Amino acid sequence: MQNNVLILDFGSQYTQLIARRVRELNIYSEIKPYNNPPKDLSIYKAVILSGSPHSVREGNPPHPDLSEIKGKKPLLGVCYGAQYLAHFHGGEVGQSNTREYGRANLSMIKEGEPFLEGVSANSQVWMSHSDTIKKLPEGAVRIASTHDVENAGYRIEGEDTYAIQFHPEVYHSTDGKKILENFLVKIAGVAQTWTPDAFVETTVADLKSKIGNDRVILGLSGGVDSTVAATLLHKAIGKNLHCIFVNNGLLRKNEYTDVLKQYEGLGLNVKGVDASARFLDALEGESDPETKRKAIGRVFVEVFDDESKLVENATWLAQGTIYPDVIESVSATGGPSATIKSHHNVGGLPDYMKLNVVEPLRMIFKDEVRRVGATLGLSQELLGRHPFPGPGLAIRILGDITREKVRILQEVDHIFIKGLRDWGLYDKVWQAGAMLLPVNSVGVMGDERTYEKCVALRAVESTDGMTADWVHLPYEFMQKVSNDIINKVKGVNRVVYDISSKPPATIEWE
């Protein structure tokens, strides 16, 4: 526990990427809001201050108390973090003559600096700020510059405090990972012991200690997260794990029966519960995305409450929550970032449901979940499954939900996903799906005019879901899939393809 890295989040869109890059170095990192930092700092060997949409020149800028960190622990300020350390410690931050955003190159690197060891001259870095450090703080030594930014990097004499006005976590910063490694390994002395094997060993031991001989109910979805969570729990508590797979009526075509068959070979104790009518009735007439998510979450909990009463002495509810779910659900009152969307498996249970919650994957990213699954011996076919949202097709049907709309989207989605598999494209895509739009358009089929639904296809490549780019699928494939959908799915006469990246768009449309 002494080899953890704390990242204080000031609201930057890149904060999650810092955590990812640190984890790639086999070092455990976690994100905490700057305005609600951990009370016990003894478990952290180094601290990183994130960027921010705020300016230190604002009337009331983010201003945490760093008295127990600065000068006492290795500290790295990134972008806003660098400007914060300058502004509040004798330096000066002013508005830049030009907004410093995008690619730049290091024109000066101070020799003999362990922080920049192995960083090549003219190394490309990524800037994203409109303020700049005009005067360094007390005791600071300039260690890097670009053509436009004189104080691109500095350190504080007599401390392990470093600061940079660029983002090392972004792939556009070509030596960014090396800089983070220099800081964490060479300067802070953090051990690189965060591996899937270590995670499995530690997590299984923690689960045994926490749960003991209690019985646990776990909701399986057929996806990677819940399956890996179930396998970890099974390894820890064996027959005391009771898995439930709920059909919410919003799954992919044939998903309910296919997934139940899939789990037969894993040795898990699984019960199927068809509650599709219950979910669809609860969604009737609802069109607001957040309302739909919350309705699904509410019924999900109600179903589990009913099922938990059938498992004698069940005291725990396990969920496959992963770190991006937690990060994206942080609200403006609990942290510096506004809520993007609520996740139905984040946030606890109502008082009437007398179950404790256990989330063995809560602090790891999607790609780490897959590596943990491989360590546990799960098949590549299962681990390679695309992510699928907890609320299912409800958030891929824009507007209100009807059984007919679900049928249409299931058929469209089935053609698209089967096509990706048939063309050898499935494993080259991180996530794919179809959206049913609340739009009718005019078409011609035969000699008749039609006025039917439009569907949007979405396929993205990503590492962890925090950022994503749209996939350049072959035109021939797109033509074939479009023709198949329009010819085979009654009610659809137009197909479009989503070419938005995340950010600014999210992967799902709702």
DSSP labels for 196-211?
A: HHHHHHHHHHHHHHHH
Q: Which helix (H) or strand (E) holds 1?
A: none
Q: Measuring CA to CA, how many Å separate 286 from each of 105, 296, 435, 452, 498?
A: 51, 11, 17, 21, 25
Terminal CA-CA length for the chain: 38
Q: Which helix (H) or strand (E) holds 477?
A: helix 475-488
Nearest to 83 by CA among 103, 60, 63: 63
- Residue of 54, 129, 169, 242 with catalytic role: 169
Using DSSP, state whether 11 is helix, strand or coil: coil
Residue type, 78: V
Gyration radius from the chain CA atoms: 25
- Give catalytic status of residue 264 as yes or no: no
- Determine how β-strand 4-9 pairs with β-strand 140-146: unpaired
Instruction: Tokens 């949007």: give the residue.
Output: 456
- Residue of 79, 234, 286, 328 with catalytic role: 79
3-state secondary structure 375-398: HCCCCHHHHCCCCCCCCHHHHCEC
Task: Check residue 351 and give its pLDDT.
Answer: 60
Q: What is the rounded distance in angstroms from the CA atom of residue 111 to the CA atom of residue 176?
A: 18
How many degrees, rounded to 5, is the angle at CA 437 between CA 433 and CA 440? 135
Task: Check residue 340 and give its pLDDT.
Answer: 40
Q: What is the rounded distance in angstroms from the CA atom of residue 412 to the CA atom of residue 433?
A: 9
Q: What is the rounded distance in angstroms from the CA atom of residue 342 to the CA atom of residue 172?
A: 30
Residues 43, 2 contacting (CB under 8 angstroms): yes
Residue type, 501: S
Q: Known binding site for ATP: residues? A: 221-227
Residues 389, 251 contacting (CB under 8 angstroms): no
pLDDT tens digit at each of 510 positions of the chain: 457 999 999 988 888 889 989 999 999 999 999 998 899 999 999 999 999 988 989 888 888 899 999 999 999 999 999 999 999 999 999 987 766 677 899 999 999 999 999 998 899 998 886 789 999 999 999 999 998 899 999 999 999 999 999 999 988 899 999 999 999 999 999 999 999 999 999 999 999 999 999 999 998 888 899 999 999 999 999 999 999 999 999 999 999 998 888 888 888 899 999 999 999 999 999 999 999 999 998 998 888 888 888 988 888 989 888 887 777 655 333 444 444 444 444 445 566 667 788 999 998 988 899 999 999 999 888 898 998 888 999 999 999 999 999 999 999 999 999 999 999 999 999 999 999 999 999 998 777 888 999 999 999 998 777 778 999 999 999 999 999 999 999 999 999 999 999 888 889 999
Task: Check residue 406 and give its pLDDT.
Answer: 97
Nearest to 12 by CA among 62, 59, 67, 57: 62
DSSP β-bridge partners for residue 243: 218, 270
- Residue of 167, 242, 343, 414 with catalytic role: 167
Q: What is the rounded distance in angstroms from the CA atom of residue 31 to the CA atom of residue 45?
A: 14
Task: Check residue 347 and give its pLDDT.
Answer: 46
Q: What is the rounded distance in angstroms from the CA atom of residue 17 to the CA atom of residue 394?
A: 29
Instruction: Tokens 């779910």: give the residue.
Output: 325
- Give catalytic status of residue 169 as yes or no: yes
Which long-range contacts does 236-241 make (Cβ < 8 Å, 24+ apart)? 236/203, 236/204, 236/207, 236/208, 236/211, 237/207, 237/208, 237/211, 239/269, 240/211, 240/213, 240/214, 240/215, 240/216, 241/215, 241/216, 241/268, 241/269, 241/318
- Give catalytic status of residue 79 as yes or no: yes
Q: Known binding site: residues? A: 221-227
Task: Check residue 331 and give its pLDDT.
Answer: 36
* Residue 246: Cβ-neighbour burial (10 angstroms; 0-12, 13-18, 19+): buried
Q: What is the rounded distance in angstroms from the CA atom of residue 497 to the CA atom of residue 478?
A: 9
